[in-house]
Amino acid sequence: MAHYLVFLEQRGGCISKVSVDTWNRVQQQAAQEGESVSGFVGGPLKPTALGELYGNGTIYHAQDEALSLPSETLLCRILSALVAEEGCTGIVIGATAAGRRLAPYLAETLHASLLGGCAGGSLHSELCRRYIYSGLVLAAYRPEASIRIFLQGREQSRRSFFSTDRPHCVSFDASPFFVPHENLLIRSVTSGNSRKSIAESAIIVAGGRGMGGKDQFVLLEELASLLGGSVGASRSAVDEGWRPHSDQIGQTGKAVAPDLYIACGISGAVQHLAGLSSARTVVAVNSDPHAPVFDAADYGIVGDVREVIPAFIGAVKEVLQKK
Amino acid sequence: MNIAVCICQVPDLPSAVAVVDGSLDLSRVAWVMNPYDEYALEEALRLKERFPGSAVIALAAAPEAGKELLLKALAMGADRAVEVCSSTLQDSFQTAWVLAEAIGNIYGQELPDLVLCGRESLDLQNASVPAMLAGMLGMPFAGSVTALRADGESLEMEREGDDGLETLEALYPLVISAEKGLNIPRKTGIRQVMEARKKPLEIVQASALPDPLVRFAGAEPVSLKKACRFVETPSELAGLLYRGGFFKTAQE
Q: Write the DSSP symbol of residue B139.
A: -
For β-strands A184-191 and B164-171, DSSP reports them as: antiparallel
For β-strands A90-94 and A3-8, DSSP reports them as: parallel
Contacting residues of B for A203, CB less than 8 Å apart: 246, 249
Contacting residues of A for B26, CB less than 8 Å apart: none
For β-strands B31-33 and B55-62, DSSP reports them as: unpaired
B107 Cβ contact list (under 8 Å, min separation 6): B2, B4
Do the beta carbons of residue A42 and residue A55 sit within 8 Å?
no
- Domains identified in chain A and CATH numbers: 3-177 (3.40.50.620), 198-322 (3.40.50.1220)
pLDDT reported for residue A1:
78
pLDDT reported for residue B39:
98
Cα–Cα distance measured from residue A315 to residue B238, given in angstroms and rounded to the nearest whole number: 6
Burial of A38 (0-12, 13-18, 19+ CB in 10 A): buried
Q: Determine, yes or no, domain membership for B243.
A: no
pLDDT reported for residue A55:
93
Over 80: is that where the pLDDT of B53 sits? yes
| Facing residue for A105 by CB, picked from B122, B126, B134 | B134
What are the pLDDT digits (tens) for B167-224?
999 999 999 999 998 999 999 999 999 999 999 999 999 989 999 999 999 999 988 7
Q: Write the DSSP symbol of residue B169.
A: E
Interface of B with A in 203-222 (CB under 8 A): 211-222
Q: Write the DSSP symbol of residue A249.
A: B
Contacting residues of B for A301, CB less than 8 Å apart: 230-234, 237
Q: Determine, yes or no, domain membership for B115.
A: yes
Q: According to DSSP H, which parts of chain B are helical?
A: 35-50, 68-76, 92-107, 129-137, 190-196, 234-243
Residue B171's closest chain A neighbor by CA?
Answer: A183
- In angstroms and rounded to an integer, the radius of gyration of the C-alpha atoms of chain A is 21
- Whole-complex ipTM: 0.91
Within chain A, what is the greatest distance between any pair of CA atoms? 63
Q: Determine, yes or no, domain membership for B110.
A: yes
By residue range, what is the domain housing residue B58? 2-205
What are the pLDDT digits (tens) for B114-160?
999 999 999 998 999 999 999 999 999 999 999 999 999 999 999 98
Q: Determine, yes or no, domain membership for B71.
A: yes
Where chain A has pLDDT below 70, the residues are 154-162, 191-196, 323
Over 90: is that where the pLDDT of B22 sits? yes
What are the pLDDT digits (tens) for B61-112?
998 888 999 999 999 999 999 999 998 899 999 999 999 999 999 999 899 9
Query: How far is the CA of B50 from the CAs of A50, B1, B103, B115, B169, in angstroms?
Result: 49, 10, 23, 17, 19
pLDDT reported for residue B162:
77
Number of domains in chain B: 1
| Facing residue for A104 by CB, picked from B92, B228, B239 | B92
pLDDT reported for residue A307:
94
CATH number at residue B10: 3.40.50.620
pLDDT reported for residue A154:
65
| A68 φ/ψ angles, rounded to the nearest 5 degrees | -70, -35
Q: Determine, yes or no, domain membership for B137.
A: yes
Interface of A with B in 88-117 (CB under 8 A): 96-98, 100-105, 107-109, 111-116
Chain A touched by B125 (CB under 8 Å): yes
